[in-house]
């Protein structure tokens, strides 16, 4: 576990290559002094991935729309996104919906094929025995067995793209600290056991805790010396 203090654009490329890059950059959406969009890190991150590596980036739809050309210029291709649903959220505008979610979007180099990217498909463990009834037999299946069957274990179920985790309000050491269980999910799905995770905008270092729990190696980088101090 390593936490570097400085600018990720200077320090992180040399620490790779990374099996997974986690990036929770400032979204550049508020007037807060630390919330300034960081330019130029995307091509460096894209080049610092292993051949099976990918990048999960936190943001809002507004921040992704504002930086869409940067992702394209860095030759990063969208793979999928998940929505993190929180129990409470931020009020940016008193005349709009209260935002209780964040987007986390996975990208991989456009030079790679998706099937070559490390991807431990997330399934849920809440499957239950159930009776499955086919309402209508699909016409192309011809004469197949009964339209009702008993599924003993429910079968593996793909995890939902909307994931609910309590945020860390009240206990956080960083104003935008992400919950460890959410980071743990990303790390287990997209980094092989013992692989290397690069956390380019580390903040509190919560992703380091997730990596420790999941048995992945971790290099984080944070520009704020107060936050980076152990
Ligand atoms: C949204 S926060 C990350 C929060 C983090 N994911 C957590 O769970 O605590 C973004 C962080 O990036 C840091 N930062 C901004 N520019 C940076 C840069 N060029 N290199 C490294 N860190 C930077 C900020 O100081 C801030 O702590």
What would the DSSP string read from start to end of 41-52?
HHHHHHHTEEEE
> In ligand 1, which atom is closest to the CA atom of 27?
1
Question: What's the pLDDT score for residue 156?
Answer: 74
Identify which of 213, 190, 169, 165 has the alpha carbon closest to the alpha carbon of residue 23: 190
pLDDT reading at 184 higher than 70: yes
Pairwise pLDDT comparison (170 vs 107), residue with the higher score: 107
pLDDT reading at 92 higher than 80: no
pLDDT tens for each residue of 41-50:
999 999 999 9
Ordered by start, the domain boundaries in the chain are 2-121+159-228, 123-157
pLDDT reading at 135 higher than 60: no
pLDDT band at 145, cuts 50/70/90? low
Task: Indicate if ligand 1 lies below 6 Å from the C-beta of 176.
Answer: yes
- For the chain, the average pLDDT equals 90
Question: What's the pLDDT score for residue 157?
Answer: 79
- By most ligand atoms within 8 Å of CB, the mutation choice from 201, 209, 226, 227 for ligand 1 is 201
Quick one: CATH architecture of 2-121+159-228? Answer: 3-Layer(aba) Sandwich (3.40)
């Amino acid at each position: 576990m390593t936490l570097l203090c400085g600018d990720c654009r200077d320090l992180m490329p040399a620490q790779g290559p990374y099996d997974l890059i986690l990036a929770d950059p400032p979204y550049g959406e508020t007037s807060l002094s630390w919330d300034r969009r960081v330019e130029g890190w995307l091509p460096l991150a894209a080049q610092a991935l292993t051949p099976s590596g990918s990048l999960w980036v936190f943001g809002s739809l507004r921040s992704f729309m504002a930086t869409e050309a940067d992702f394209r210029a860095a030759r990063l291709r969208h793979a999928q996104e998940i929505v993190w649903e929180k129990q409470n959220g931020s009020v940016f505008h008193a005349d709009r919906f209260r935002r209780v979610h964040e987007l986390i979007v996975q990208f991989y180099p456009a030079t790679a094929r998706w099937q070559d990217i490390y991807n431990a498909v997330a399934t849920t463990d809440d499957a239950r025995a159930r009776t499955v009834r086919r309402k209508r037999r699909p016409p192309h299946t011809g004469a197949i067995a009964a339209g009702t069957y008993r599924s003993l274990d429910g079968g593996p179920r793909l995890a939902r793209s909307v994931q609910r985790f309590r945020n860390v309000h009240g206990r956080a050491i960083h104003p935008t600290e992400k919950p460890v269980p959410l980071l743990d999910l990303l790390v287990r799905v997209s980094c092989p056991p013992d692989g290397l995770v690069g956390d380019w905008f580390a903040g509190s270092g919560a992703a380091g805790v997730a990596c420790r729990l999941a048995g992945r190696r971790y290099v984080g980088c944070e520009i704020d010396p107060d936050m980076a101090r152990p």
